[in-house]
Chains A and B, each alone.
Chain A
Amino acid sequence: MPISNENIIVADNLTISYDLHRERKKLIALQDINLEIKKGEFVVLVGPSGCGKTSFINAVSGLIPKSGGSVKVRGEEVTAPGPDRAMVFQDYALLPWRTVESNIRLPYELQNLGISEEEKKQRVKNCLELVDLAGFEKSFPYELSGGMKQRVGIARALATNPDILLADEPFAAIDAMTREAMQAEMERIVMETGQTCVFITHSIDEAILLGDRVVVISYRPGKIKEIVNIDFPRPRMNNSEVKISKTYAELRDHIWNLVKDEAMQTTRGE
């Protein structure tokens, strides 16, 4: 579905800070973030480790309180999580006492999504196939590899068919081959369903291939350093021309330099 002109997520001077009780200090993770995300848009956040990417999507999901400014979803201030927003967690966050299938069904137990049991079964099956985990329904998370756990986390989020998908480095632990297949699936799903996706990655290639816009965040304080538009036609994943084009190389170089400058600061210390 094409991107609409309607803003779905609006961050307005959003500031997020954490209390460091031990040192009687406050850590400002994100400062004055202004970002408007359109319905159906695929926005990728990149930036050095610890710059506040996870904090941003946690604020959008309503998991953490803001210290200043506002985040609105469909014009309403975010105060708590809602069924319209699903999340893929950086650390998987699977319940260890539940099987793969039961983990994916968790959202169905917690909220009434207004869908029939038939539909739920079908969705779970589809999502498991999508992440290539058919046959592992009855396995427990401790019996899975890191990449497999991560894929269960993806399936759990997709099974709710959310309007907004918040994905925190969802492919970080997945091997290159599977990763490429999953990127293609992700692009397909977002295009077909018109989902809005906020996606975090450390891979610049992934950012360019998936994103309509790539938001580069700076390190301490976390501010938006630059927003890079990516204009390649979709779908890009199985289009070999994208990766060999000159524009691609230029974009890659540009974003790489932006992130590198910031990453240098993290290693140098403040």
Chain B
Amino acid sequence: MRKNCMFLWIMAFLLFGFINPVLAVTTDMYENSDTGYKVIIEDDANLLSYNEEQSLADSMEKLTEYGNIAFKSISKNGYGSASRYAEKYYHETFGKESGTVFLIDMSQRKIYIFSDGQNYKTITKSKAETITDNVYKHASNKEYFECADEAYSQMYTILEGGKIAEPMKYISNALIAVMLALFANFAIFKIATKNRAASVNEQIKECAFSCTHTNPSVRQTGEHRVYSPVSDSSSSGGSSGGGGGSSGGGGGHSF
């Protein structure tokens, strides 16, 4: 019974995989002979002309220095969200390799950039958001080629900058180390040399103290009221979002 159940699940999963548009035919436009990274353009939504595709492929070539680079446009999204689609598409096309995909999801009217591997270290989620933020207006104006071309050009700038940023990382680490060391030493010194004043309790212990009193008498003197509205003060527990498991990430923008 249990095994059957499992089998059904696997079948369902496979079926879902087959009708999945992600498994469309891929066309390699270019492969970098030094790095082995590829350029892939899949214009399922027919947004680009043949010439535009060639021209886009040319400008995408230089990005293969850092990772795979893909253009994908879709008119139907079986995953519901552009980010989820981009992630699935990328992993099924390139696996865990370094690279970036630029997705135009016409069904959601959304553009999305997803990166993984080494590329994700430079084209981070916030970087992807910045880029899509910069180019979504082209998509709104139906200038899909300009939109994609501009996005790749900005990605390239960031990736090139990432190369320059490498020494920056060492400088940053060194400065952080200096800062932490200074602070640690400072804190240690402060604690080791603190002259703590004797507390009132310590002082009092040394006093000769005696105290007796008669049974207290209690007399009511009046009454006062305090404003305190009746309310259902049930506090709600915080909900924490779980997740994780997948590497890589990206950002997008509606258009």
A interacts with B: no
User: Residues of B at under 8 Å CB distance from A?
Assistant: none
